[in-house]
Chains A and B, each alone.
Chain A
Amino acid sequence: MRRRVAGLPLDVTAAGTWRSAVAVVAYAVPIGFILVPLTSFLVYSFFWVEGGQMRFSLTLLNYQRFFTDDIFLPVFWRTLFLCLKVAGLAIGFGYPVAYLLAGLEGRKKYSFAMLLVVPLLMSYVIKIYAIRSILGGNGFLNQALLALGLIDQPLTFFVFNLNAVLLTLTALLIPFAILPIFLSLERIPRSLLEASADLGASSAQTFVKVILPLSLPGLVAAGTFVFVLAIGDFLTPQMVGGQSGFTFGRIIYSQFGMAFNWPFGAALSVVLAAVVVGAIAAGALFGNRRDEQR
């Protein structure tokens, strides 16, 4: 590498031009390609469609339709509930793994953490497909259960319905639960655990009274991540949900496909965005409060 120690004297005006050019690009691109699209999207949700034609006048009809129609609101609540269950399951499985991980030492810890993170970067579509074929009537799970003699005929309660969506999303999103919990467990000072033991607490008591409360911020972050990712997903329900596994994401997607009602789809997405922002804000608020208490 060449090194030039004595450079040219600093040209003040050139530096100023350079600086403002950077500022222009720094603002123009994110605003042009992120903020403007999001804004036009928001505006679209106030337009409407009549006889297959877009009407570009502002109305609240789309929102009214969402809140009054008997189809959309139940699906919405069902999806929220489903994603809460996904978050709960992911935390339930993720917590023990994070706990075990936090107890490991040095290199072992990071290798194992890698092992848990790597599947996140593996093809999402392929994983959904593979899980579907594992859960399916002819799939590995049923074949294994049949071979073990636990069941007489293939189980179908996790094929092409909401249970399938629940299981698939959980399997896909567990790593997002493990990581934040692991990080919060890592931040608990060892001295606190030793103090608890010195004062005569059993390991179960230490867990309930010391570790669990201190890892709560991580738990909340994990729940937020998984919930937000689950509610935004429309591929999984589309692939494994079948006819009965209709979710909010699928309804939104269908507005841009078959139903071809973009303004209504935009309005539904705005509702989705509001839920996501609410979930993130609630998670952040809770996390911050816990931090301040320390």
Chain B
Amino acid sequence: MTRNKTATIALSTVTGFVVVILYGPIFVPIVSSFFTVKRGTVTWDEPTLAAYSALTRNEGVLEALRNTLIVGVLAVVLSLALGTLLAFYYHSGRSRGREFLQLVVFLPFLMPPIITGLSLLIFFREIDFSRSLVTVVIGHTAFVLALVYRTVLVRLQSLSRSLIEASYDLGASGLQTFRYVLLPNLSSAMIGAAVLAFALSFDETMITLLVTGTENTLPIRLWAMMRLGFTPDINALVALILLFTTVLCLAAARHLMPQGAAGREG
């Protein structure tokens, strides 16, 4: 796009500022984690790894981490299975109910999480289902389902019909066509969606806060700790989580990027 020099400088300034706004809140805890914190203020001349060793002894946090991983993996597996099934159902049929079904799937993603969380909370109470990690898994699955469904559907729609027809012509059954023709073509979209879904589940706070029982996931644990006051090991935990999420993001990008870049030419 054409523009003059003043405009370029102005644009770059705003952009630089935005990058600082976006990354400042991420870097402050990371940097702080390597220094001694006394009464909420960081002592910059006392570098230490004490926060990290304190973290390994923090039972509550470790348990929360374990819960988060369990919930994330289960939510990903469930949403992947269901999302793929829904995508196939939407793609293959012509019935009118499909559009309605798609809207239902999108609802938890479109509606504020507080609404999804509260509706599940009321629902579980009505059917007398006590709150636990199971209800958290259900909440997370409902939330990430739309993402998985949409990603798989978009890839499915980009595949040529002749691919499937050729498979049938060569005598493959429906199941064989799925296993040997469709699945290999869908796998990169599915992996990308799984990684993103896991990242969303890992960080999901609002729905979890409402549907969890006595067990904490990591964001809930952090939320509770931050409201009470701050111990330095949170900084260490934050640094580790951010490192982990960055790796996840890059992994997701690797699987989704080629598709995005290819989509531009098409």
Q: Which residues of A approach B to under 8 Å, CB–CB?
A: 1-11, 15, 18, 22-23, 25-27, 29-31, 33-38, 40-41, 44, 93-94, 96-97, 99-100, 102-103, 110, 114-116, 118-119, 121-127, 129-131, 133-134, 138, 140, 171, 174-175, 178, 185, 193, 197, 203, 206-207, 211, 228-229, 231-235, 239, 249, 252-253, 256, 262, 265-266, 269, 272-273, 276, 280
Contacts and interface: CB of A to CB of B under 8 A. Distances in A.
B37 to A, nearest CB: 11
A234 B206 contact: yes
B171 A5 contact: yes
A174 B18 CA distance: 8
Given A123-B242, A125-B226, A265-B118, A37 B123 contact: yes
Interface stretch (B46-54, B58-66, B106-114, B151-159): B106-114
Contacts of A231: 112
Contact of B107 (A38, A252, A266, A269): A38
B170 A124 contact: no
Q: Closest 10 A-B residue pairs measured CB to CB? A: A232-B112, A37-B123, A130-B25, A41-B119, A37-B119, A96-B14, A26-B89, A7-B172, A119-B22, A127-B25
A269 B210 CA distance: 14
Contact of A232 (B40, B115, B223, B248): B115
Interface string B193-204: 000100110010
Given A22-B88, A125-B222, A203-B7, A34 B248 contact: no
The majority secondary structure among interface residues of chain A is helix
B25 A124 contact: no
A195 to B, nearest CB: 12
A186 B209 CA distance: 39
Given A123-B242, A174-B21, A44 B101 contact: no
Contacts of A26: 85-86, 89, 101
12 contacts: A4-B172, A9-B171, A33-B138, A37-B120, A44-B122, A97-B15, A103-B1, A121-B199, A122-B246, A123-B242, A171-B22, A203-B7
B222 A100 contact: no
Given A8-B173, A276-B112, A124 B205 contact: yes
Interface in B73-112: 82, 85-86, 88-89, 93, 97, 101, 104-105, 107-108, 110-112
A120 B92 CA distance: 34
B61 to A, nearest CB: 13
Given A15-B174, A193-B2, A231-B112, A96 B10 contact: yes
B206 to A, nearest CB: 6
A110 B203 CA distance: 24
Nearest to A280: B110
A36 to B, nearest CB: 6
A171 B89 contact: no
B266 interface: no
Contacts of A171: 21-22, 25
B219 A34 contact: no
B136 to A, nearest CB: 13
A269 B122 CA distance: 12
A114 B19 CA distance: 12
B174 A18 contact: yes
Interface of B: 1-4, 7, 10-12, 14-15, 17-19, 21-26, 28-29, 40-41, 82, 85-86, 88-89, 93, 97, 101, 104-105, 107-108, 110-115, 118-123, 126, 138, 141-142, 145, 168, 170-174, 176, 180, 184, 196, 199-200, 203, 205-206, 210, 219, 222-223, 226-227, 230, 238, 241-242, 245-246, 248-249, 253, 257, 260-261
Contacts of B21: 93, 171, 174
Contacts, number: 229
Nearest to A10: B173
A256 B22 contact: no
A203 B4 contact: yes
B114 A253 contact: yes
Nearest to B261: A110
A174 B86 contact: no
A185 B97 CA distance: 35
Question: B173, B241, B260 — which one has the most chain A CB atoms within 10 A of its CB?
Answer: B173
Given A122-B242, A256-B121, A174 B22 contact: yes
Contact of A93 (B18, B40, B88): B18
A6 B226 contact: no
A3 B177 CA distance: 10
Contacts of B184: 1
Given A174-B18, A234-B206, A125 B223 contact: yes
Contacts of A115: 19
Contact of A138 (B2, B41, B227, B253): B41
